[in-house]
Amino acid sequence: MAETTFQVEIDGAAVTVAPGTTVHQWLRAQRPADLTGDNPVVVASINGRRTHLAELLSADARVRLIRLQDKETQTTIQRTVQFLAALAAEDLFPGHPLNVDFSYAGGMYCKLDRDEPLSEDDVARLAARMAELVAEDLPLLPQRFGLRALLKIYQRAGDERNHRTAKYLRRESLEFYKCERSPLMYYGRQLPSTGYVRAFKLIPQSPGFVLLSNVKGQPAQLPEYLPQTKLLDTLREYSHWVERVGLRDTGALNEYIVNGRTADVIQISEARHARFFVEAAEYVAALPESGRLVLMAGPSSSGKTSSAKRLMVQLRVLGYRPFALSLDNYFVDREDTPLADDGDYDYEALEALQIDLFDEHLQALLAGEDVHLPRFDFVAGKSRLADKPTRLERGQPLLVEGIHALNPALTPRIPSAQKMLIYVSALCHLNINNFSYIKTTDSRLYRRIVRDAQFRGYPASETLARWPKVRTGEEKHIFPFQNNADLFFNSGLTYELAVLKLWAEPRLAAVDSDDPNYGVARTLIDQLSLLLPVDASQVPPTSLLREFIGGSGFNY
């Protein structure tokens, strides 16, 4: 006899449901008020994995309901706003699909796939059409496609880009979101309908625009737009570069791999990095002999250490003897470390460093005086001055690397003419298609998962648990000062996820289903499944990627 009901757990309470019931159906029948108002339920977490409300409930499932104002809903809101923009562009500019190029200034930089730039009037029309789509409250429904059916859909539509992306998938089906009035398909979880979007803004930035969604946790509040010209130039340069070399998305990268051209991708990506260090060394050489100070900062897993080492090599090519100074050695003794809001030591606060001592040493080093530099013992939590003094020669470059390096409070007495500030980050995301992509922050997270496992003995579950606190520290201590940089180094490598997946996938697969970060782990695995693997033996020993996978020609 067929089972007529079964039990599930919803927000900690046991409830009885009938087979074939979705989360949305249960809410509509039992708690309809939860689907309306200012803070409705928009996403569900089932057995630790976030999913849409159309998901079927199964016996013994543990369900957590996630609301619009919850901070973890932010990425879903952002994807829906991007889908809205793509739908509006399809209506107003048929034949010229929207391209979401990169994250920028708290939003996304977008343009149309055409030669003619968007005018301010064009951007205003797009915004107005998006507002109309929100008012129409169109359902955004998940739909699973078999791989063969998906390939036929793209083939009939003449969509070579998406056909290429789907062609190399190594799974038999893929879930997309669709709006019934459009053939567009979005890879990535959406809000239940367009009407759940509360705020967005389009800011003209020729040839496209910056698309802003809401402040995290505040769906109706827009963030402040803070343009950063140098960063935008760096991001645009990379976007143009991937278009020129034919590496715009996962499908293009997979095609290189399948055609045996992996070495080409690696060589041109590494040569692009090498070009930056040649130019940066020339900038350093142009600083006055009275003080050649290089300050380098960037977020976690951006490759700051390797970047510093490669710049030092290039400076030696020019005949200099650069000296490296790590801010980590200027930590205050552990018992004097400031505390974060959760009561743990806040090692990322500026006050966790001996700022006065660092300033004193910096002045002395640049003046050619003897300095007894500190060495921080991370086991004992104590700082000790070296017995042997250090002295720099006149004009000898001094490289300082650390998260606070771009903060003006770190070097208040050094004239700007005597220092060069470099911001390092993996600024390039990898597109899946025109408007869905793998985020740059995810790229850094993959790097950190691999490095933590390889060199620190941390399982992926521990890295994932720490990541939110790392991101909070970046937003507080690093990102506000990135615009101070003289040079931006995009440390991302187009091919790196295809290499990192060989290390990251097994670590992520080991995250237990009862772990709070299980859902994030599975999402990261799903993203990696879009890419074919690349053997790391082809990665040169000087590559920045070696900092994370091992086998580097540098000592760390």
Residue-wise pLDDT tens digits, 288-321? 988 899 999 999 999 999 999 999 999 999 999 9
Percent of the chain with pLDDT over 90: 76
Q: What's the mean pLDDT in 279-288?
A: 95
Handedness of CA 376, 381, 383, 386 (dihedral sign): negative
Interacting residues of 338 by C-beta distance below 8 A, sequence separation 6+? 345, 346, 349, 351, 352
Other Cβ atoms less than 10 A from the Cβ of 201: the count is 17
> Nearest-5° angle of CA 17, CA 21, CA 23?
95
- pLDDT score of 263: 95
pLDDT for residue 116 is more than 90:
yes
Q: Tell me: the pLDDT tens digits for 100-113? A: 988 888 899 999 99
Closest CA to 539 of 530, 528, 552: 552
What radius of gyration do the chain's Cα atoms show?
25
Side-chain half-sphere exposure of 506, counting CA atoms within 13 A: 4
Q: What's the mean pLDDT in 133-148?
A: 95
Q: How far apart are CA 37 and CA 165, in angstroms?
A: 39
- Cβ proximity of 385 and 373 under 8 Å: yes
pLDDT for residue 64 is more than 90:
yes
- Cβ proximity of 501 and 531 under 8 Å: yes
> Nearest-5° angle of CA 20, CA 23, CA 26?
80
pLDDT for residue 1 is more than 50:
no
Considering only residues 68 and 435, tell me which one the structure prediction assigns the higher pLDDT: 68
Q: How far apart are CA 226 and CA 331, in angstroms?
A: 32
- pLDDT score of 397: 96
Closest CA to 169 of 152, 181, 154, 151: 151
Domains of the chain, residue spans = 6-67, 74-227, 234-322+396-549
pLDDT for residue 117 is more than 90:
yes
Confidence of residue 2 (pLDDT cuts 50, 70, 90): low
Residue type, 551: G
Q: How far is CA 10 from the centre of its chain?
A: 32
Pick the CATH number of 74-227 from 1.10.3720.10, 3.40.50.880, 1.10.10.10, 3.30.980.10: 3.30.980.10
Q: What's the mean pLDDT in 180-195?
A: 92
Interacting residues of 193 by C-beta distance below 8 A, sequence separation 6+? 137, 138, 139, 140
- pLDDT score of 199: 97
Q: What's the mean pLDDT in 435-460?
A: 92
Pick the CATH number of 6-67 from 3.10.20.30, 3.20.190.10, 3.20.20.190, 3.40.50.1370: 3.10.20.30
Output the average pLDDT for the chain.
93
Q: Which two tokens stand for residue 329?
A: 């050695």
Task: Please tell me the pTM assigned to this model.
Answer: 0.90
Helix (H) or strand (E) holding 101: strand 98-104
pLDDT for residue 257 is more than 80:
yes
Interacting residues of 105 by C-beta distance below 8 A, sequence separation 6+? 210, 225, 226, 227, 228, 231, 232
Q: What's the mean pLDDT in 352-362?
A: 92
Helix (H) or strand (E) holding 518: helix 518-528
Tell me whether residue 160 is exposed, middle or buried, using C-beta atoms within 10 angstroms of its C-beta: 0 to 12, 13 to 18, 19 or more: exposed
Q: Tell me: the pLDDT tens digits for 468-492? A: 988 988 988 999 999 999 999 999 9
